[in-house]
Amino acid sequence: MSDAAAKNARLLTPILIGALVSVVLGVYGGMHKGDSIVFHISGFADLALVKSWLAAVVAFFVLVQLASALVMYGRIRRITAPRWIGTLHRWSGRIAFFVAVPVGVFCLYGIGFQHYDTRVLLHSLLGCLFFGVFTIKMLALTRSGLAGWVLPLLGGLVFTVLVATILTSAAWYFTTIG
């Protein structure tokens, strides 16, 4: 096996586990009849508004992730990466993920996997895909000897899927209902 093939094979297990996470969430969401009452937060009229505001917080930290990644990988040439940029990147990602988890719980447990129109189906698919792709990226971080393009590609994929998920939910809610 060539060195390049060996590096790529190190991704097989994370990809399989991430795919399993996505499928399990989708199957659970499809079989679970939504409860619609997952949690209450004072000051919010309905749970969709809570979910949308939490998604907006996630969107902010995702933008911090994008900016810090661009600085870390030297894509913003006028900025020399400060020593703390890696810490900012890791913590903004952690915060984004931990805020996204209650949103995912609300969606899967409170609503379930829905498909009554194209936007909702796309949102359901993207939400499940996000947690799978995120799993792949986190597991890839623990693998040594990966090709240099792997982590930026996975990070970009996590970013893209999460932004699309937010656009089909919170952004839609705020521009249509809210």
Amino acid identity of 177? I
Answer whether 113's CB lies under 8 Å from 122's CB: no
- Give the chain's domain count: 1
Contact partners, residue 173, CB within 8 Å, separation at least 6 = 48, 49, 51, 52
pLDDT, one tens digit per residue, over 57-112 is 999 999 999 999 999 888 887 888 899 999 999 999 999 999 999 899 888 887 88
Q: Which domain holds residue 42?
A: 3-176
The pTM of the full predicted model, rounded to 2 decimals, is 0.86
Does residue 27 sit in helix, strand or coil? helix
Q: What is the mean pLDDT of residues 131-150?
A: 92
